[in-house]
A = this chain, B = another copy of it.
Amino acid sequence: MDDAPQGIPSGKEYYERSLTVALLRAREVTMRRFKRFADAENLTLPQWRVIRALADGEPLDAGTLCQRCVILPPSLTRILRALAERGLIVQVSCNDARRHTVKLAPEGQAVFNRLVVRSEGIRHYIDSKFGEARMQELLDMLNDLRVVAETLPDEDEDEAGG
């Protein structure tokens, strides 16, 4: 055990206090119920994120969708093709012809309307148990955390750091 890092906790408590695992598990359990509703509409969760990001009717380009929905460009290309083939989204023209810009078609809006009711139902249940004010606080913290983590230096330490 001599080569164990100093001052670093380990074991179950450490694992339970891991931020990224806590984020993963919280997400998994809050998504589990909704996923069945998405399945029933033949939508994957990334597809649902795209539809939701477009839900206010404003057209968005591929780059923006990648960022907001946390989807890599090659995946998004496939997703947009699938959604367009089902008539849920339509392409809109744009000044910059390089940009692939899309918006929700009426059928896509209808799918959103059906699913968002489910989503809000789950949200209200969680809010009622968790506390609405605490939920707002949690969302603020998560958004803050994202801003903070985005400032992480590109290389935390060189090989000299040992």
* A interface, CB within 8 angstroms of B: 3-5, 8, 10-12, 14-34, 49, 52-53, 55-56, 58, 68-70, 110, 113, 116-118, 120-123, 125-126, 129-130, 134-135, 137-139, 141-146, 148-153, 156-157, 161
B15→A53 contact, CB < 8 A: yes
How far does the Cβ of A71 sit from chain B's closest Cβ, in whole Å? 10
A126→B141 contact, CB < 8 A: no
Quickly give the copy total for this chain.
2
How far does the Cβ of A135 sit from chain B's closest Cβ, in whole Å? 7
Residues on B with beta carbons closer than 8 Å to the beta carbon of A49:
21
How far does the Cβ of A13 sit from chain B's closest Cβ, in whole Å? 9
Where chain A touches its partner, the secondary structure class is: helix
Q: Which of A12, A27, A32, A153 has most B Cβ within 10 Å?
A: A27
A27→B29 contact, CB < 8 A: no
How far does the Cβ of A9 sit from chain B's closest Cβ, in whole Å? 9
> Given the interface contacts A19-B135, A149-B30, does A156 sit within 8 Å of B125 by beta carbon?
yes
**Option from B15, B70, B148, B153 in Cβ contact (under 8 Å) with A130:** B148
**Option from B28, B30, B32, B145 in Cβ contact (under 8 Å) with A30:** B145
Docked Cα-Cα span, A138 to B146, in Å, equals 13
